[in-house]
Amino acid sequence: MSVSVRPLHPLFVGEVSGVDLREPLSAGQVAELHDQMNRCGLLVFHDQAMTPEQQLEMTRQFGTLELGFARVLGRHPDAAHKPPRTGHAEVADMSNLGADGRPVERSDRKIVGHMANQLWHSDSSFQKPAARYSLLLAVRLPSWGGETEFCDLRAAYDALEPRDQAALEGLEAEHYALHSRIMLGDEDYSDEARAVFPPVTWPIVRTHGGSGRKLLYIGVHARRVLGMPVAEGRVLLMDLLEHATQPRFVYRHTWRPGDLIMWDNRATLHRGRRWDLAEVRELRRTTTADVDAAA
């Protein structure tokens, strides 16, 4: 079956039709979707309701699966002997539900994760290899809110003044897995948990491996700029984040059950939006690792 893609934003984002992700894809379809990801950075699929097992098998067609932050939480005392709701460590439970299937209390550690996800970030920028694709499936949704926003880091770089582009060349930022959570007051991690993901550095200006375009590799996991005083570096990172998340670079997705979004973490940042935490919001995410990436 052929792949059809309709633009949803002037700069990035495509809406895909003609593909059922619950069925095995041909090699040609996989290659075409990779090409579309290199162009669009983000693809939206509708009517893709599937089981965690189907989502896991579907994702394997696009690359090597990663565990990501589950490795940190798995070493936290609160997570001991708690299997994931999805039944698979590679399928992240992005819901606000507890083991009883009901929304957890606001004081639950799981809510801290949702608050951190409402900050602009790129999945797994705190590790090497970082994430390439994230695939997020909507299962159950609240009556309002809970949208997800994405911004185009390639277009944001292109829009910088040449003076600023030149000033950023050669600069590196340190990314740390727990930076956003510590910012939000979640500091109770053992030394072992903190050591799961030691800080890593990435160039602030990277070249996208699929399109050859330059981009700003920033987000809330970036906590300092190497070679700068911490304050100066953090202000620079905040300025760049403010620039990259201007409305002209942002797409907001209003979910409906069965929607699946696949985005390229090398080319975009994303954040969730608030909703009534007393209502159910259930999404599942799988992620592929950017295993063949250069710095």
The domain that holds 136 is classified in CATH as 3.60.130.10
Distance CA 182, CA 188 (A): 9
Confidence of residue 197 (pLDDT cuts 50, 70, 90): confident
Rounded mean pLDDT of 194-212? 94
- The whole-chain average pLDDT of the chain stands at 93
pLDDT at 81: 47
Whether the per-residue pLDDT at 4 is higher than 60: the answer is yes
Asked, for residue 73, whether it belongs to a domain, the answer is: yes
- Prediction pTM value: 0.94
pLDDT at 189: 86
For residue 22, the one-letter residue type is R
Residue 112 is encoded by which pair of tokens? 């801290």
Whether the per-residue pLDDT at 289 is higher than 70: the answer is yes
Residue 234 is encoded by which pair of tokens? 């953090």
Whether the per-residue pLDDT at 78 is higher than 60: the answer is no
Q: How many CB atoms lie within 10 A of CB 265?
A: 24
Q: 74: burial class by Cβ within 10 Å (0-12, 13-18, 19+)?
A: middle
pLDDT at 73: 52
Query: What residue numbers bound the domain in which 79 lies?
Result: 4-289
Whether the per-residue pLDDT at 280 is higher than 50: the answer is yes
pLDDT at 124: 94
The angle at the Cα of 56, spanning 257 to 112, to the nearest 5 degrees, equals: 65
Share of the chain above pLDDT 90, in %: 86
Torsion region of 80: left, alpha or beta (phi above 0 gives left; psi -120 to 50 gives alpha): beta
Asked, for residue 294, whether it belongs to a domain, the answer is: no
Rounded mean pLDDT of 163-175? 98
Pairing type for strands 131-140 and 148-152 reads unpaired
Cα-to-chain-centroid distance, residue 222: 14
pLDDT at 194: 86
Could you tell me the sign of the dihedral formed by the alpha carbons of 45, 51, 53, 54, in that order? negative
Confidence of residue 191 (pLDDT cuts 50, 70, 90): confident
Whether the per-residue pLDDT at 83 is higher than 80: the answer is no
Share of the chain above pLDDT 70, in %: 93
Q: Helices marked H in the chain — which ranges?
A: 27-40, 52-60, 70-73, 109-116, 153-158, 162-168, 179-183, 191-196, 230-244
Whether the per-residue pLDDT at 295 is higher than 70: the answer is no
pLDDT at 84: 81
Distance CA 281, CA 141 (A): 5
Distance CA 92, CA 124 (A): 13
Distance CA 158, CA 162 (A): 9
Q: What total of structural domains would you count in the chain?
A: 1
Comparing 85 with 133, which gets the higher pLDDT?
133
Whether the per-residue pLDDT at 256 is higher than 60: the answer is yes
Rounded mean pLDDT of 26-45? 97
pLDDT at 294: 52
Rounded mean pLDDT of 160-181? 97
Asked, for residue 295, whether it belongs to a domain, the answer is: no
